[in-house]
Structure 1
């Protein structure tokens, strides 16, 4: 296209392009591109002029041509669909009347930092360098779905969407995009869904200090996201669901000091994820359900006070827990399971304590598991469970049995010392020994020859029955406890 009747502003751009020089229209540091609709012709450039330069602009030998414009008002639509742009594009602090259209285009690098746009349509874009929308204010959607970015994507401090907007369209589309290095969006403010499902990022994703607003909906949709190193979201403010189901984060998923809120729904979903370390250090209590079903992690750092009232932990696997706390502070979480009693959750917690070398805490968890399981049994099984619990703590408190036996031994010894039972065969009976007679009654296997030689009467006979029955109960529960201990080994 031949450029006719260029304005003074366009003449400056035309002269600077083949030299790779920049053109700055800003009138002072306080010049705000949001007021760009009122800028006059002295800083207005037609989008069709820029398109002509980028697709077929002049190149001067020995110089690297490039479009470098700051503080311009760009009228019309910059339409580069399926085009090949061999020059860098840097349009900083500009005011766009219409959303640029770059679907399927190939560019060297694209920088729109500080600009104001109604939207950006760049699905399937290919770049040899980076894309930057740092500090941009975009009323509509930034569409980079399926893009392949050989460098990084920068969106630090960008403002996307309109507060209270109800269009339902994601304000940032990075779904199925491939970013060779990093996604850097610290301080991003998004009024609407941020879409990253199926994206692949070679380095890290940085959402530190970001604010995501999607009340009652999904604020961050990043299912099956694959990250090369870390996903940092320190001090994140998410009003809506954060969905990372199926994501792969080999190092840290960092939510320290974050505030996750989605009352009445899921606030955080990391089900089926593979994560090196998940950190919720010093985060605010989560408002909404946390879903970690079938996730696998090396380290889980979540203080007890951060967990919400309802969690879903079925199949969650982890190797270590930090900070290291007594089991009594971790166990209440397992009572909040949405699916009810889950044996695996208790086994996993006990395994983490054993890995840390805290066998006492592991036994406490195993005991809590059996007590929780008892509530699911019929009444007669619950009754027998209470007996085992009181006697030996289901085998995890074996010293209780010794205490019970000692108490019964003392009781029987005192009673039979005060009243010797008569011998069945006076001429053949051994000398009566109250302690060993009581042991004969208590221990069903050992025979000291006392029980069969003497026959108590009256209430002493009832006492002997009680000692025999209690001895059988204790012997059974002790045997069950020993078996359980051997199975754990």
Structure 2
């Protein structure tokens, strides 16, 4: 049935549509054709929403698209539950009210350059793409559970709903790409459980929801790459549980959520690299806890201002490649505890500063406890403003720089196969002492084992001697003197050459003293002539008897010299035996 009471422009649109032509209502003057001024366009460019609905119902099974350029549509366009076998295209147009496509089926939807009060395409089925390039929406866009056979292109657009959600596409399905590059969204963008077989592009987008959620893409599934280079976000950006078959890249992104979480990527799964680098900056904590990344994790030259305490939380991450934090600048704690990294963890030229709620040189600023990695590089641009926690971490190679050692270290249980540049053993012993006042034997034994593997046995013995000296400080006051004797005598068995020196010195002393002051014979029996050297040896060596010690007795005050040599001999014999036993046990 032919509609009646149509205006001239509506008659033209009807005729063009039925004949398969596009209706162009623009006048060619950008100052006049701007859709932002569409509310002032006259009747020559105005279409009634109910006319468009009746026209669509009249067309029925037609397949030619409805294409209009530069129109003003008055009233809410309600096309819900309709099944269109053609495309709808209203480019550079102005809709006074919301467009309702709830549960509507159509071939393609083009709203290029159009200004509208909102779009409801919940559960809509679009065989091709949905295009909102350069669109301006002053209400909500709803695409929950929509099925789009092509791409969703909301690019260089402006979405404005500051008090609520600007775009919601929960559980939306797209065969092509989901593109929002260059778009500004005032209000939250929600992509929870959405799925696309192509690329998700948030490049140069500006998402603003200060104090709220700028982007909620939890459990988003991406068939290719998720690209957010140059993204600007005010509010939380969430990718928790998201999966991408390719990259997750936020190069040069600027995220702002002061005092809170700027990036939440808890248990995200990335098929290639996770890249927050090359100008990436976050005001607020970055959390990638439990992420699984097949390639590399990159925070090279990133700037993390933290939430006042923590800057980066990468606990329990599993990385097939490397975790690179070269040139990282962070204010707050960086955590890679219990992480599993296939290659190296690299903090070369990084600067780790304390957060505003953490005192300088206070608790650990870098927490790597239970880390597993092939190599760990700790060559900072400057010493961190806090300690490094390495307890129970295991790495193949430790590559560090004494000039940038932190003020504190927690090393108990830290295992490493070798040190890239061991440096002097004195410096390494000082490195171990940064554990604090507590005594932990494990770090000394680990360092000694590494020295032995690298063929530096002398350095290993010096480390183990330092361990005994550190242990002595933990003993009771009554037990310390015996330790001092062992240290002075034979270096706890790690300096056995000292015993020979002491024996030689005492032997020379005894020989001189008793050579000048001969002891007297102990009995009337005839004895061998007195020999001061052999007599001194008899006194010093308790298990050897040359006969001189029994045949002669020192008299007067020289008896005390004999007693001293005998006592010294026993002490040296005991310490030597203890040292030999320790060496055997060590072997």
Which TM-score band (shorter chain)?
0.7 to 0.9
Which residue is equivalent to 1:233?
325
Cα offsets for 1:423-445 (capped at 9, x unmatched)? 12355111111110110111101
Distance 2:586 2:364 in 1: 36
Does structure 1 conserve the Cα–Cα contact (< 8 Å) formed by 2:311 and 2:332? yes
Which residue is equivalent to 1:301?
399
Structure showing greater Rg: 2
Which residue is equivalent to 2:202?
112
Cα offsets for 1:313-336 (capped at 9, x unmatched)? 221111111212122101123223
Offset of residue 311 of structure 1 = 2.0
Offset of residue 339 of structure 1 = 7.2
Q: Secondary structure at the match of 2:431?
A: helix
Distance 1:49 1:481 in 2: 81
Distance 2:510 2:398 in 1: 53
2:451 counterpart (341, 347, 353): 353
Distance 1:339 1:313, change over 3 A: farther
1:90 counterpart (174, 179, 194): 179
Pairs within 5 Å for 1:129-208: 129-161=224-256, 165-166=258-259, 168=260, 170-186=261-277, 187-208=279-300
Q: Secondary structure at the match of 1:238?
A: strand
Distance 1:468 1:338, change over 3 A: closer
Which residue is equivalent to 1:457?
555
Distance 1:391 1:216 in 2: 53
Offset of residue 210 of structure 1 = 0.5
Distance 1:210 1:320, change over 3 A: same
Does structure 2 conserve the Cα–Cα contact (< 8 Å) formed by 1:54 and 1:67? no
Distance 1:380 1:339, change over 3 A: closer
Q: How many residues of Structure 1 are paired with residues of Structure 2 in the alignment?
A: 459
Which residue is equivalent to 1:27?
none
Which residue is equivalent to 2:92?
7
2:375 counterpart (251, 258, 277): 277
1:384 counterpart (467, 479, 482): 482
Give the gaps of 5 or more residues in structure 2: 1-77, 80-87, 95-109, 115-125, 209-213, 355-359
Distance 2:473 2:323 in 1: 41
Does 1:481 pair with 2:573?
no
Does 1:71 pair with 2:156?
yes
Distance 2:445 2:436 in 1: 17
Q: TM-score, normalised by structure 1?
A: 0.88
Higher mean Cα deviation, 206-215 or 151-160? 206-215
Which residue is equivalent to 1:209?
301
Which residue is equivalent to 2:419?
321
Distance 1:472 1:289, change over 3 A: same
1:255 counterpart (347, 350, 358): 347
Distance 1:364 1:467 in 2: 29
Counting strand residues as a fraction of each chain, which structure ranks higher?
2
Distance 1:309 1:215 in 2: 23
Does structure 2 conserve the Cα–Cα contact (< 8 Å) formed by 1:51 and 1:78? yes
Provide the alpha-carbon RMSD of the alignment: 2.6
Which residue is equivalent to 1:29?
none
Per chain length, whose mean CA-contact separation is higher, i.e. which structure has more relative contact order (CA < 8 Å, sep 6+)?
A: 1
Does 1:411 pair with 2:501?
no
Q: Secondary structure at the match of 2:332?
A: strand
Q: Secondary structure at the match of 1:141?
A: strand
Q: TM-score, normalised by structure 2?
A: 0.74
Does structure 1 conserve the Cα–Cα contact (< 8 Å) formed by 2:90 and 2:111? no
1:442 counterpart (533, 540, 544): 540
Distance 1:427 1:414 in 2: 26
Counting helix residues as a fraction of each chain, which structure ranks higher?
1
Distance 1:201 1:416 in 2: 80
Distance 1:376 1:49, change over 3 A: closer
Distance 2:180 2:418 in 1: 49
Q: Secondary structure at the match of 1:336?
A: helix
Give the gaps of 5 or more residues in structure 1: 25-42, 60-64
Q: Secondary structure at the match of 1:369?
A: helix
